[in-house]
Amino acid sequence: MVVIHHNPECGTSRNVLNIIKAAGYTPTLIEYIKEGWTKPQLQVLFAAAGLTPKTALRVTKSPAKELGLLDDSITDEAILEAMLTHPILVNRPIVCTAKGVKLCRPSESVLSLLAQWPQGELYKEDGEMILNSEGKQP
């Protein structure tokens, strides 16, 4: 089973989803921008992925700066509370498989979570090669 916490507006998230599908999986999609987060959900995801709210905070293309979350004195608890109000603050995509949980940036890092990889050449949306014709990373 593969679960992806996905934002369809994010190119990295779309690339990760494409890698998962190309590997033959039908992932469970959680569009967290629409669905939001719960505090226990984030705490479990972050613990499993070895993240903290600060390391999982999306600082670009999010309201993090406007909300004052980039100041060194801001606590993880304050960031976590802001993430509940503003789901966009959580960096993505976060992928869960039997092999673990990971914030998959760059997108090809999802390969370490997949028991089977896509076959043949695979490219990101911007044309960068992820896998060559032999199914290996260049």
Active site residues: 10
Can you tell me which residue has the tokens 């996905």? 6
Straight-line distance from the first to the last Cα atom of the chain, in angstroms, rounded to the nearest whole number:
27
Q: Which residues contact 15 (CB under 8 A, 6 or more apart)?
A: 107, 124, 125, 130
Structure tokens at 29: 């999609």
At position 135, the amino acid (one-letter code) is G
Distance CA 77, CA 97 (A): 27
